[in-house]
């Protein structure tokens, strides 16, 4: 078995210069080697980078596929992949690759930093060390897309960015960390809620997101039916509603009718999923009269908005029947949600 780990820099703060405005650091590879020299528990690693590193704010589904295809083409050469990525949309990318890649047998570990590696005293070195140690001594029961940041190893489709400045920039509010990084190495977590097992012997496959007509709408007091109607017009095929509390929305009859009509259309029907605006907790559409279930909105349970968007991209690309998309959106496909018992 190949023992080396591949570090792939796609862009982001970790590989930028210390000076403002920050730009990709031409010496990043050398700086990284110097920062990791003589660190115990680090496996051998190779380095590669996008020819033009990309700010994560500019990431698109086509870039996600490019990263997945890159991993696919090198899957037999390395024991694990450490992907360096900007923090702003990292949780979208980790969620996307969780659904995009089938038959994963090698761990894919994302990390980045709030401060460039070129600046002393930041978080970049610690995140690199934790990611490489995990890659070199991967003891989780199954290969997963993980996000390593601030001492935590998070399931990729459960992670969300919670701070624009703190070292602990990411959290997994509704699911415990898979592991934690300490000065001595990696301490495994309780391993609860393992992702569903795929069929044995499935070769790694990358599913292109061919249907990306998906939107994300955050509800707020006073949101008008007209704005919502315009949002739900064709070519939209799937929508994540960032709803109040346990999946509630305005009681305005016009607002309700707009949702109902978009869901019931014979042509250009929209699959609408409710996720909670709260950092923690799950959606229960039947708990209150203001729950959106009566209009045909389906529950995203405790999914993050990032995971729900990525899952809609995926299911709309592989399923032609909106009803089947709705059914599978409410099933735990990759460890992204917990259904109430």
pLDDT of residue 255: 98
Residue 181 makes CB contacts below 8 A (sequence gap 6+) with 126, 129, 130, 133, 134, 148, 151, 152, 153, 187
Cα-to-chain-centroid distance, residue 337: 13
What tokens does 191 get?
A: 């391993």
Structural domains of the chain in order of their starting residue, each with its CATH number: 5-206 (3.40.50.1170), 214-329 (3.40.50.40)
Distance CA 304, CA 336 (A): 8
pLDDT of residue 199: 66
Length of the chain: 341
DSSP 265-317: -SSS--EEEEEESSSS----TTSSTTBGGGGTPEE-TT--HHHHHHHHHHHHH
pLDDT of residue 285: 96
In 10 A of CB 74, how many CB atoms? 16
From first to last of its 341 residues, the chain has per-residue pLDDT tens of 468 999 999 999 999 999 888 888 999 999 999 999 999 999 999 999 999 999 999 999 999 999 999 999 999 999 999 999 999 999 999 999 999 999 999 999 999 999 999 998 999 999 999 999 999 999 999 999 999 999 999 999 999 999 999 999 999 999 999 999 988 889 998 766 778 877 666 789 999 999 999 999 999 999 999 999 999 999 999 999 999 999 999 999 999 999 999 999 989 999 999 999 999 999 999 999 999 999 999 999 999 999 999 999 999 999 999 999 999 999 999 999 999 87
Q: Active site includes 13?
A: yes
pLDDT of residue 192: 67
Give the residue among 190, 198, 202, 323 at the shortest CA–CA distance from 266: 323
H or E segment and range at residue 36: helix 28-36
The residue from 10, 13, 87, 228 that is catalytic is 13
pLDDT of residue 191: 67
What tokens does 44 get?
A: 């051998």
Produce one character per residue of 10-43: b if its CB has 16 or more CB atoms within 10 Å, e if not.
bbbbbbbbeeeebebbeebeebbeeeeeeeeebb
Residue 84 makes CB contacts below 8 A (sequence gap 6+) with 7, 8, 9, 10, 11, 12, 14, 15, 110, 111, 112
The torsion angles phi and psi of 254, rounded to 5 degrees, stand at -70, -40
């Amino acid at each position: 078995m190949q023992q080396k780990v591949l570090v792939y820099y796609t862009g982001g703060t970790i590989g930028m210069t210390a000076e403002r405005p920050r730009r990709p650091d031409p010496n990043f590879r050398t700086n990284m080697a110097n920062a990791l020299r003589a660190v115990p528990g680090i496996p051998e690693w190779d380095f590669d980078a996008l020819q033009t590193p990309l700010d994560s704010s500019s990431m698109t589904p086509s870039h996600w596929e490019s990263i997945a295809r890159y991993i696919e083409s090198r899957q037999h050469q390395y024991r694990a992949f450490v992907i360096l990525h900007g923090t702003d949309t990292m949780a979208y990318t980790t969620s996307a690759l969780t659904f995009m890649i089938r038959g994963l047998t090698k761990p894919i570990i994302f990390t980045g930093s709030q401060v460039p590696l070129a600046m002393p005293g930041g978080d970049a070195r610690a995140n690199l060390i934790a990611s490489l140690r995990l890659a070199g001594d991967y003891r989780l029961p199954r290969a997963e897309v993980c996000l390593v940041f601030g001492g935590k190893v998070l399931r990729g489709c459960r992670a969300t960015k919670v701070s624009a400045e703190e070292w602990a920039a990411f959290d997994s509010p509704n699911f415990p960390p898979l592991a934690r990084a300490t000065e001595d190495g990696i301490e495994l977590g309780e391993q609860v809620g393992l992702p569903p097992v795929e069929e044995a012997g499935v070769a790694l496959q990358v599913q292109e997101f061919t249907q990306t007509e998906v939107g994300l709408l955050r509800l707020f007091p006073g949101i008008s039916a007209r704005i919502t109607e315009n949002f739900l017009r064709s070519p939209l095929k799937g929508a994540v509603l960032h709803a109040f509390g346990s999946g509630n929305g305005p009681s305005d009859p016009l607002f309700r009718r707009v949702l109902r009509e978009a869901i019931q259309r014979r042509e250009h029907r929209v699959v609408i999923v409710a996720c909670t605006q709260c950092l923690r907790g799950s959606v229960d559409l039947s708990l209150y009269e203001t729950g959106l279930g009566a209009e045909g909105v389906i529950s995203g349970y405790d999914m993050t908005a990032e995971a729900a968007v990525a899952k809609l991209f995926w299911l709309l690309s592989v399923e032609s029947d909106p009803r089947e998309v709705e059914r599978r959106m409410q099933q735990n496909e990759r460890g992204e949600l917990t259904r109430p018992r």
